Chain A
Amino acid sequence: MFIDTHTHMISRVTDDYERMAAAGVVACIEPAFWLGQPRTNVGSYIDYLSTIVGWERFRAGQFGMRHYCTVGLNSKEANNEELAEAVMEILPRFALKEGVVAIGEIGYDEQTELEDRYFRQQLDLARELDMPVMVHTPHRDKKRGTTRSMDVVIEQGLDPASVVIDHNNEETAQEVLDRGFWAGFSIYPGTKMGSERMVEIVRRYGPERILVDSACDWGVSDPLAVPRTADLLRCGGIGEDAIRQVTYGNALAAYGRNGQMREADWLDPAPIDQRTLYMGNSVLRGGQTPRVETGTGRADAA
């Protein structure tokens, strides 16, 4: 069983869901982010958040996949002050929805003053609602930006144990782990981590507080990155317990803190959740057989 803690499934097709489920991914987390182009008004932000807490969750359920999300104002769009203010107004309406496991992904892009203001405000919201946080670390000026993100988390009074610093690499891993944060590694060709490098990371630091994710989105990326990395870790001589920890156990511990993601969700689904999430076949066309889970539990999953 795998949990992919960083997936933008709204950009992915049904083949991806089928292949992920077949490869043993039982749950995925969809962090709120931008859409590749900036939104121009809060209305489209509301509809986006509704999509990731509603329709996408439903769509995933039809493939036997449990779908969770994080909500937040991303760093890129934090630079549009008018939009940012309006989003901050409506965020509390979404933070407690079913399946929302964290505030995120928030943090810095260009490390501007506006990014800093809304990063801090959202950290305050997470503290007030006692929710985990997913921090997006900047691609440009990454090392300094990552250090600064952690400084600000501490300044706002959050416990590092409730905060995941995502998109790490060889340069940032040591400090993130030393300071007691969760360290996410996005296996994303080109800009982030590669699977082979991930083997070295786990060998060097061990499995404690490390999470492997795919960050699959609308770019060239691999929704199977987590199961594929697990295979590579195995080939690299990493033990089964450590593999399970970095591809499943740590994800559950980090994002299950507010009770919205529980192992029972996929091992032993409650009948009420079956009724709301595991029915219907609207994404299936023309004579395909829907994958409707009935009865209790699917403990045989991968």
Chain B
Amino acid sequence: MTPDNLMTAWLLRQLPSDAAAWLIAQRDRLRTGTSERDFNLAFSLAPRRLGKADLLLGPEDLAAAHRARPGWDPRGWSADQAGRLVLLLAQGGDGPAFNARLRGLLATADLAETITLLRGLPLYPDPALHLAQAREGARTAMRPVFEAVAHANPYPAAVFDEAGWNQLVLKALFIETTLAPIQGLDRRANPTLARMLCDYAHERWAAGRPVSPELWRCVGPWADDAARNDLAWVLRTGTAAERQAARAALHAAPPLKKFG
């Protein structure tokens, strides 16, 4: 099933009948082509008509999501978010037309709309066309907006280039959110990122600030001699969680050159 059909099915299962009827009527009207004003009104009204309850999803729903788009993880999505994306996708259009609409919506989006539109990134036609909007979301100072791109979202790992990926990981540390929910964290690890993260750890140490233990996960597979020294330092001086992270990183590290 396509993502919009899946979301519609989930919504119909849990919405009161009048809300469900409103959604279907709006979607069908948008599919036949209607004015920009009608779309804007429906998109704006969605939370008031559909409510903001969490989507009620079971394991088979998550499996269906993953089949529709690899990595798509709708856990924690709300009814208004899914409903808005159903309306957006109902208008159809190829990548460039869709991107123009997405840019227009983001330009006047409130916080909840921004989060919705960015969570939807993996569901849109021609995903790579929306890279600039995803990168902008990953540059924000608003943590929930950042997390809409970075967490539980297959988009960055699939589309960001190495420089963009590395900025995303560093930004996550700067705004003190977690790295674990970032999909593809191990697969996209790279020597440049490992070097940037070690530099960042040194900055934090120099300032007497704590360093997230999660950081070492992206360092381990590309640890050079300098990084090994950093990990050894953490093993000697770190908290229990930091020592555990350092041990895991050293375990993932390549064999030492002088012995290999």
Contact = CB atoms under 8 A, between A and B. Distances in A.
Contacts of B48: 259
A259 B141 CA distance: 29
Interface stretch (B94-102, B111-119, B238-246): B111-119
B175 interface: yes
Given A58-B142, A272-B52, A282-B175, A98 B112 contact: yes
Interface residues of B, number: 27
A54 B144 CA distance: 12
Contacts of B144: 58, 275-277, 279-280
A121 to B, nearest CB: 16
A55 B54 contact: no
A58 B175 CA distance: 14
A46 B108 contact: yes
B126 to A, nearest CB: 25
A287 B209 contact: yes
Contact of A272 (B41, B44, B78, B109): B78
Contacts of A279: 143-144
Interface stretch (A19-27, A89-97, A247-255): A89-97
Nearest to B78: A272
Contact of A97 (B44, B142, B209): B44
A87 to B, nearest CB: 13
Contacts of B78: 272
How would you classify the secondary structure of chain A's contact residues: helix, strand, loop or mixed?
A: helix
A302 to B, nearest CB: 26
Nearest to A52: B110
Given A99-B110, A279-B144, A93 B47 contact: no
A53 B143 contact: no
Nearest to A273: B52
A9 to B, nearest CB: 15
A57 B142 CA distance: 11
Contact of A282 (B47, B52, B142): B142
A275 B114 CA distance: 13
A259 B52 CA distance: 14
Given A92-B40, A93-B40, A287-B209, A276 B108 contact: no
A277 B108 contact: no
Nearest to B81: A272
30 contacts: A49-B108, A50-B110, A53-B110, A53-B111, A54-B110, A57-B111, A58-B142, A58-B144, A90-B108, A92-B37, A93-B40, A93-B108, A96-B41, A97-B44, A98-B112, A259-B48, A272-B54, A272-B78, A273-B52, A276-B111, A276-B115, A276-B144, A279-B143, A279-B144, A280-B143, A280-B144, A280-B175, A281-B176, A282-B143, A282-B175
Considering the complex of A and B, which 7 residue pairs feature the smallest CB-CB distances, nearest first?
A: A280-B143, A282-B141, A96-B44, A97-B110, A53-B110, A272-B52, A93-B108
